[in-house]
A and B are shown apart, each in its own frame.
Chain A
Amino acid sequence: MKKLKLGMLGAAVLGFTATAALADDYPERPINMIIPYGAGGATDISARTIAEPLGSAVGKPLVMANVTGAGGATGSVAVQNAKGDGYTMLFARVGSHSVNPAMKATLPYTLDDFRFVTVYEINPVACAVRVDSGIDSMDDLVAKVGEGGVSYSSSGVGSLLHLAGVMVLKEFGVENPLEQATHIPQKGGGAAATAVLNGTATFLCTNSSALASFVSNGQLKPILVTTAEPVAGFDAPTAADLGKPALHQLVGWTGIAGPDDLPDDVATKWGDWMATATKDEKFRGTMEARGSIIELMSPEDANVFIQGQYNTFRKLVDELGMRIEG
């Protein structure tokens, strides 16, 4: 027993000297990559797809760990509290890092608690209704809101889907979307799409990848995509076509972040690795087949992009009094 303790003490000293000599030989051991959402979701698939080319660029294994709960908050906090040594990184997502901070006063973290090293994936957002709903365009939908009884589903309070439903209605001239349309939250993105499919809700706005199979199967009808460019497979006007450029901010994204005390040289290294990884043909192929747009941002660009989206969302939330205080 005593020997064991002595051994541990010795190892402890060694361990500390090892951590002191950071940066130059970073990474010298596997890196923990935390995915704050469950297996099979958009974040998970994106993360696991980039893990392969990224792992070879890093040269050390990336250990993927799903830490789910509270709309991405549980996993995000795990990284917020981790040491800023670059060995615990987060796959941040639009829900956990721009909608949630904008909507929830009770969130245990803010954007300042993280240092983004990149955003590498953009997902266009599309709004869809049931094929037999009698709604063919945004105008039809807005007219129906006037009649009352319109509802939209989401994957939960504070999700991109929640905010997107409100923001789209607001942009198309619905004065107070919170009062005039009903939000019916579901547990998860799959359930949200099902809710529109079985008539529980009237419409939903979510990542085009989550809707692609329903659209191509003729179960759901897209009525809007929020990007400037049209999305393949979605026969619907873009926000630019309809003259609503403000909706271009409404896109999904996936990025990588560390705790706020992440050193500069580590962030730089991540920038280089991501540049290599996103060039990978197989990665691009898989992601683009799912409807994602691969767009690599430098650490600075990523911060500007996320702050911009956060401010847009925050303004809307404050204007409508949507912020959750309790």
Chain B
Amino acid sequence: MSFIDSLLAGLSLVGNFESFLALGIGVAIGVIGGAIPGLSATMAVALTLPFTFAMQPITGILLLLGVYKGGIFGGSIPAILIKTPGTPASSATVLDGYPLAEKGQAGKALGMALWASCTADVISNLSLILFAGWLASFALNFGPPEFFTLMLFSLTIIAGVSGESLLRGALSAMLGLLLATIGLDLIYGTNRFTFGDPNMMGGLNFIAVLIGLFAIPEILAMVWNPRSHDGTTRAIGKNWVTFSEYKKSFKSIVRGSFIGVFLGSIPGIGAAPSAFLSYSEARRTSPNKENFGKGEIEGVAASEAGNNGVAGATLIPLLALGVPGDVITAIIIGAFMIHGLQPGPMMFILNVDIIYGLFIGLIVSSVFLFLIGSVAIRGFKYVADIPRGVLFPAVLVLCVYGVFAVNNNIFDVGVMFAMGWVGFVMLRYRIPAAPFLIAFILGPLLEDNFRQAMLMSGSSPLILFRGPITWFFWTMTAITVVAIVHTGIRATRKGLDQHKENEE
């Protein structure tokens, strides 16, 4: 079958009202689900799954993909408005989105998040359609040694999000790495810091840690000083993102999208590291480096491009290899199987109409995301106008419900509270929270892949240098570390010089 034939076959499959309705409803469910902290894109997809059993395969899968895409964008809404990322993927959006909301520019931040998300979505979908086969065979070259070096490189992001002091960022990262060791050991199944408690054996729930670290400290800071914000206005304002701002951030958005495509096509990484990597790259290359973390619109654009860039690309390993890239695609693969479809190379031959139908649906989904996202922002933006005395207790209650819903476990609510205090102390001591989170995500991946590589090679470290991919990441890591040390020394010198001038 030629390309045109495949396209027409696909079109005949999705060119009906139900498909588009499913896609639209999916995006809407996703945006709302993503916007409710704790519900997250994963939960929204899992909850929608049973409804797809009775549908046509393509309609059901489009519905789920709509939820997925909507959810990843929806997570940015609470991240910006109440400093509570709706999904883990939007934690990087908090860094600049919330300061913007504090300045009364929530509308602008939300608008930029939407534009960046949609742009990244288009790029990601096109990459899926054009490069699926090639990227998938590339992704299959990623074994534990390659993963280990990639994770090592990704840990250098920490330098980019450490703020004023690199060492405090490092301390924050160490804390995150240490807390991530709680749970059962992967290789031997033995206990680490679990104290025999079955709740601890599963490790600390990621979303509980995330919400505890970002949202609860804000509430505690409010308790510490309830009057600190009197007199500052926090209305949404008429600020909407302008086209010139979009153009200025365009480079970061495209870069973030491709980072997302790359990381998304490799199974097992997910959207959160991609968002952070995109953010730190944007910061590194921006002339406004100083303003990042204090309300830089480009930071929001980069983070959102990074996480939405993943959304289309995670379908690459799913469709081309039958391998789920993250939790959400693992659920979506379940939907394929229920309908008797077996994702993998043969699907491009046996079910080419479904593949092309999905491609067409994906392209259309970006448009739906833009339309429904705009409506959602208009609806949600009034949250920024709620007086703090009502908003903050409300956020607390919302977090309790949301964190419980993630794993139906009251213990997680306790984890969230405890992490809230950790976050508050870190806030007081000016320790940045972002490195903690990145380390908490990447730490287990780093350790597990290291030990898996050692198992493969019988403890010979040479395996960490096998093949060009490992060498590539070792080189990247070395270059980045040198650059970090270099700027670090320069910054210290500059500080000392200023200090001398002050004394003289």
A contacts B directly (C-beta below 8 A): yes
Q: Which range holds the interface residue count of chain A?
A: 35 or more
Are A198 and B186 closer than 8 Å at their CB atoms?
Answer: no
| A190→B323 contact, CB < 8 A | yes
Q: Which residues of B contact A (CB under 8 A)?
A: 42-43, 45-46, 49-50, 53, 140-144, 183-191, 196, 198-199, 201-203, 267-268, 321-324, 327, 330-334, 337-338, 340, 342-347, 407-409, 448, 452, 455-456, 458
- Name 7 extra pairs, CB < 8 A, besides A66-B46, A67-B407: A40-B334, A66-B407, A68-B202, A74-B409, A77-B199, A185-B186, A213-B322
Interfacial chain A residues near B184, Cβ < 8 Å: 70-71, 157
Q: Are A38 and B327 in contact (CB under 8 A)?
A: yes
The reply to whether B143 and A286 form a contact with Cβ atoms under 8 Å apart is no
Q: Give the nearest-CB partner of A72 in chain B.
A: B202
Find chain B residues with CB under 8 A from A217 CB: 322, 342, 344-347
**Judging by beta carbons under 8 Å apart, are B331 and A199 in contact?**
no
| Least distance between B402 CB and chain A CB atoms (Å) | 15
**In the complex, are the beta carbons of B452 and A200 less than 8 A apart?**
yes
Q: Kindly list chain A residues whose C-beta atoms are within 8 Å of the C-beta of B324.
A: 40, 190
Residues of A89-139 whose CB lies within 8 A of B: 103-104, 106, 108
Instruction: Mark contacts of A181-220 with chain B using CB atoms, 8 A cut-off: 1 yes-contact digit, 0 otherwise.
Output: 0111111101101110111100000000100111011110
- 1/0 per residue, CB under 8 A from B, across A13-50: the answer is 00000000000000000000010001111001100110
A213 and B452 contact, Cβ closer than 8 Å, known pairs A34-B408, A69-B407, A73-B198 = no
Q: Return the contact of A67 from the options B43, B334, B347, B409 (Cβ within 8 A).
A: B409
Main secondary structure of the interface of A (DSSP, over half): mixed
B143 engages A198 (CB within 8 Å): yes
CA gap between A191 and B267 in the complex, in Å: 8
Q: Which A residues form the contact surface with B (CB < 8 A)?
A: 34, 38-41, 44-45, 48-49, 51-52, 65-71, 73-74, 77-78, 103-104, 106, 108, 151, 156-158, 182-188, 190-191, 193-195, 197-200, 209, 212-214, 216-219, 286, 289-290, 324, 326
By a CB distance below 8 angstroms, the chain B residues around A216 are 342, 344, 346
Known: A40-B333, A184-B452, A197-B140. A108 touches B408 (CB 8 A): no
Is the CB–CB distance between A40 and B198 below 8 Å? no
Which residues from chain B contact A324 at a C-beta distance below 8 Å? 188-190
A213 to B317, alpha carbons, bound, how many Å? 13
Closest 7 CB pairs of A and B: A69-B202, A157-B189, A217-B344, A70-B201, A213-B342, A39-B46, A40-B331
Judge whether B338 and A194 touch: CB under 8 Å.
no
The reply to whether B186 and A156 form a contact with Cβ atoms under 8 Å apart is yes
Are the C-beta atoms of A45 and B201 separated by less than 8 Å? no
B199 with A286: CB separation less than 8 A: no
Closest residue to A35 on the B side, CB-wise?
Answer: B408
Identify B190's interface contact among A68, A156, A326, CB under 8 A. A326
With A77-B198, A104-B189, A198-B142 already in contact, the answer to whether A213 and B337 are too (CB < 8 A) is yes
Asked whether B338 lies within 8 Å of A40 as measured between CB atoms, the reply is: no
A45 pairs with B323, CB closer than 8 A: no
When the two chains form the complex, which single residue of A187, A219, A290 contacts B448, counting CB atoms closer than 8 Å? Answer: A187
Given the complex, which residues of B lie within 8 Å of A151, measured CB to CB? 455-456
> Does the CB pair B448–A194 fall under 8 Å?
no
Identify 25 residue pairs between A and B in the complex whose beta-carbon atoms are under 8 Å apart, listed by A's number.
A34-B408, A38-B327, A40-B333, A45-B334, A49-B53, A68-B202, A68-B407, A70-B198, A71-B184, A78-B408, A151-B455, A157-B184, A157-B186, A184-B456, A185-B187, A191-B268, A197-B321, A199-B143, A200-B144, A200-B452, A200-B456, A213-B322, A213-B344, A216-B346, A217-B345
Interfacial chain A residues near B322, Cβ < 8 Å: 213-214, 217, 219
B334 to chain A minimum Cβ distance, whole angstroms, is: 5
Q: Chain A contacts of B142 at CB under 8 A?
A: 198
* Nearest neighbor of B347 in chain A, beta-carbon distance: A217
Are A74 and B202 in contact (CB-based, < 8 A)?
A: yes
Min CB distance B271 to A, Å, is 17
Minimum C-beta distance from B197 to chain A (A): 8
A38 to B408, CA, bound (A): 12
Given contacts A34-B408, A198-B143, contact A40 B347 (CB under 8 A): no
Q: Which of A49, A52, A65, A194 contacts B267 (CB 8 A)?
A: A194
